[in-house]
Each structure stands twice: as C-alpha cells, then as structure tokens.
Amino acid sequence: MSFEAISNIAQAEAQAKTTVANAEVRAKQLAADAESAGRLAVESALGKAEDELAELGRQVNEKARRQAESLSGVLENQKAALRARAGGKMEAAAAKVVERIVNS
C-alpha cells in the first residue's frame, strides 16, 4: 500500500473519530435540552393543575355556602312553623289545666 493511501486512511479515521465525538456531544446536549424542556413542561402542568384544583375548591366552597344559607332559611321557616303550632297547643293545654283545676 502506498504512503498516500495509508495517510488518507489515517486522515479518514481521525475525521471519523472527530465526527463521532461531535455527534456524542451534540446528542448529550440534545438529551439535556429535552430533559430541561420536559421538566419545565411538567412544572407548568403541575402549576396549572394546582390552580385548577384551587379554583374547583373555591367553587365547591361557594356552592356549599349557598346551600347552607338556603338550608338555614328552610330550617328557620320550619322552626317558626313548629313554634306557631306549639304555641297553639300550649294555649289549649293551659286551658285544659285550668279547666281541670276549676272542675276539681
């Protein structure tokens, strides 16, 4: 084999090693960039999910508050109705007690 052919082979091998090394560096950089982008995407999604969860919590609390207010009004109405009925029965009971005392 001629010296020129050996020199060309050595030069091609060196160039191939440089190309492989550059490709490895580029691949590592791409992997690091992808990992960083993925981490940012996960953090962003987590933040969005936390915000949505907080908003749902506020909505649930507001709905529960409105239902409690509504129920409170209904209970007040029922309480007033029971008091009115009890008041009428109290008068009838008092009249019976007086009647029994008077008739005894």
pLDDT in tens, 6-45: 888 989 999 999 999 999 999 999 999 999 999 999 999 9
For residue 34, tell me if it sits in a domain. Answer: yes
pTM of the prediction? 0.53
For residue 86, tell me if it sits in a domain. Answer: no
For residue 3, tell me if it sits in a domain. Answer: yes
> Considering Cα of 76, then 78, then 80, then 86, what sign does the dihedral take?
negative
Q: What is the pLDDT confidence band of residue 104, given thresholds at 50, 70 and 90? A: confident
Instruction: Supply the range of the domain harboring residue 14.
Output: 1-77
> Considering Cα of 97, then 99, then 100, then 104, what sign does the dihedral take?
positive
For residue 48, tell me if it sits in a domain. Answer: yes
For residue 18, tell me if it sits in a domain. Answer: yes
| Torsion angle defined by CA atoms of residues 67, 68, 74 and 78, in that order, rounded to the nearest 10 degrees | 150
pLDDT value for 45: 98
Give the integer Cα–Cα distance in Å for 65 and 58. 10
Q: Which residue has the higher pLDDT, 73 or 20?
A: 20
How many domains, in total, are found in the chain? 1
For residue 73, tell me if it sits in a domain. Answer: yes
For residue 99, tell me if it sits in a domain. Answer: no
